[in-house]
């Protein structure tokens, strides 16, 4: 087990990485269960809006990622984001299926799963490409700054020079992730605004079994 302290970003053991994100998964599971119960009472609007705003806030906090952040900060920020995702995800999926007639529920569920998987893959690919481009751009900028130290490089010990470049590499990686989280926070906040158009209040069912959309 590594000592308590800053997150290293590089060569972090897989087991400890899993333990680091375990609270995130547990918070999401608990909030999805709670939001499922609240959905029947208050409808999807405010659950989705509050959940997306909370997820946006968590993403904004994660935009502060840096080489010196502690594991406690990582756990706290990811748990805040997971709480928001857990509140919004269940309500969005349930609200979408509830708007369908019973004979279309199975087809709607299948389409929802496909769209969710495809959008997740495309979104991950886009964010990965952005992070990679950011790393290249930031690394180039850091390299230009380090060129000014070449005249002093001969006076530095080899380990010191290696440590300087390693620190720079980690800082570039952290900055690229921070930009990705900041962009994610912005899009999530915009989605929260769009969620204001969802219905509010419990669903009212018609005589044919199809829920009537009700808005306050």
CB 27 within 8 A of CB 82: yes
Q: Residue 214: which pLDDT band, with cuts at 50, 70 and 90?
A: very low
How confident is the model over 166-207, as pLDDT tens digits? 777 788 888 888 999 999 999 999 999 998 888 777 765 544
Whole-model pTM?
A: 0.76
141 inside domain: no
Q: What is the mean pLDDT of residues 124-128?
A: 88
Least Cα distance to 203 among 194, 213, 193 occurs for 213
52, 189 contact by CB (below 8 A): yes
Domain that holds residue 207: 14-114+178-212
The kind and range of the H/E element at 204 are: strand 204-205
**Length of the chain measured in residues:** 216
- For tokens 């969710």, the residue is 116
Question: What are the pLDDT digits (tens) for 75-105?
Answer: 999 999 999 999 998 888 888 887 788 888 8
Closest CA to 64 of 56, 73, 75, 51: 73
Report in angstroms the alpha-carbon separations of 150 from 2, 77, 146, 166.
34, 39, 7, 16
Q: Decide if 135 is inside a domain.
A: no
Per the model's pLDDT, the better-predicted residue between 208 and 199 turns out to be: 199
Q: What is the CATH classification number for the domain harbouring 82?
A: 1.20.1250.20
Confidence (pLDDT) at 101: 83
Residue 4 falls within a domain, yes or no? no
Instruction: Give the pLDDT confidence score for residue 164 in this predicted structure.
Output: 64
Kindly state whether residue 195 falls inside one of the protein's structural domains: yes
Residue 208 has pLDDT above 50, yes or no: no
For residue 184, what pLDDT is reported? Answer: 93
How far is it between the farthest Cα atoms of the chain?
85
Residues 29-81 have pLDDT tens digits of 899 888 888 888 888 889 999 999 999 999 999 999 888 888 889 899 999 99
Work out how many domains the chain is built from and give that number.
Answer: 1
- pLDDT (0 to 100) of residue 185: 94
């Amino acid at each position: 087990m590594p000592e308590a302290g800053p997150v290293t970003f590089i060569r972090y053991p897989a087991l400890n990485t899993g333990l680091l994100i375990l609270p995130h998964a547990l918070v999401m599971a608990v909030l999805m269960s709670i939001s499922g119960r609240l959905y029947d009472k208050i409808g999807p609007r405010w659950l989705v809006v509050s959940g997306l705003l909370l997820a946006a806030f968590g993403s904004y906090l994660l935009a502060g990622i840096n080489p010196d952040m502690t594991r406690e900060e990582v756990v706290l920020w990811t748990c805040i984001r997971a709480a928001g995702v857990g509140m919004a995800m269940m309500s969005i999926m349930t609200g979408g299926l509830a708007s369908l007639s019973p004979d279309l529920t199975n087809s709607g569920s299948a389409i929802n799963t496909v769209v969710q998987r495809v959008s997740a893959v495309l979104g991950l690919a886009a964010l990965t490409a952005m992070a990679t481009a950011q790393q290249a751009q930031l690394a180039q900028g850091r390299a230009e700054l380090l060129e000014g130290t070449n005249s002093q490089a001969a006076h530095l010990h080899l380990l010191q020079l290696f440590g300087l470049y390693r620190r720079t590499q980690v800082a570039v990686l952290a900055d690229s992730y921070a930009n990705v989280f900041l962009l994610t926070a912005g899009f999530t906040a915009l989605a929260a605004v769009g969620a204001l158009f969802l219905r509010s209040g419990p669903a009212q069912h018609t005589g044919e079994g199809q829920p009537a959309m009700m808005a306050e």
